[in-house]
A and B are shown apart, each in its own frame.
Chain A
């Protein structure tokens, strides 16, 4: 099946700094990618839809200036958490759909200290 690679798998950063997470579709082109956030024992919550060559679409309550999304090519989307705070600590997961199936990255565990 298709493969989505997400990097890094874990990152610890200081409060106030920015962190970039990459999501790559390795063997297929993804005009659309989705970014989710998952808190412990909770569901995946969709943050935004990343569209290649255009602006991302953010879900209600998600700050677009804080969570910057760039989808510059058909195989790469990036999520940058700007001015990170401890409450941004979470598990971030990207996914890319291929026909009727969604392929997920391995996830990034972000810890802000």
Chain B
């Protein structure tokens, strides 16, 4: 069955460092992968989309890589800030309709001042 794995343990880093979150998947060939931010008690907010034919995407302090051979995406936040503290979800789409997403469980990021 399809499986999307994100590190369930919280990632604690110091302000100013680069945070790197991992998303691994099995039994899936997504056309694209998305990253979302979710704050407690709120709905997810879209951050970045990367397609299967793209290796890397950047947006301000965010960088996403997508390796379809390893079936892995890495999500980086450079110069992290306490305001970046949240849960980050990866989502895969494209197999059963372009906009139908399958979500990972998310990784909680805690950035200390």
A and B together in one complex: yes
Q: If the complex has contacts A102-B34, A106-B42, A109-B41, are A43 and B101 also in contact, measured as CB distance less than 8 A? A: no
Question: Which residues of the partner chain B approach A46 to less than 8 Å between Cβ atoms?
Answer: 100-102
Docked CA distance A58–B100 (Å):
12
Is B111 positioned at the interface, with any CB of A under 8 Å from its CB?
Answer: no
Is A44 located at the chain interface by the 8 A CB criterion? yes
Contact string against A for B residues 72-113, beta-carbon threshold 8 Å, 1 for contact and 0 otherwise: 000000000000000001010000011111111110000000
Query: How far is A97 from B93 in the complex, measured between Cα atoms in Å?
Result: 12
Which residue from A95, A102, A107 sits with its C-beta under 8 Å from B42? A107
Chain A window 87-108, contacts with chain B (Cβ cutoff 8 Å), 1 for yes, 0 for no: 0000101010100111111110
User: Of B32, B97, B103, which one neighbours A43 at CB under 8 angstroms?
Assistant: B103
Indicate if A34 sits at the interface (CB-CB under 8 A): yes
Can you show 23 pairs from A to B with CB atoms below 8 A apart?
A: A1-B46, A32-B99, A34-B99, A34-B101, A36-B103, A41-B8, A41-B105, A42-B105, A43-B104, A43-B105, A43-B106, A44-B103, A46-B101, A49-B97, A49-B100, A93-B44, A95-B43, A95-B44, A102-B34, A102-B46, A103-B46, A104-B45, A107-B43
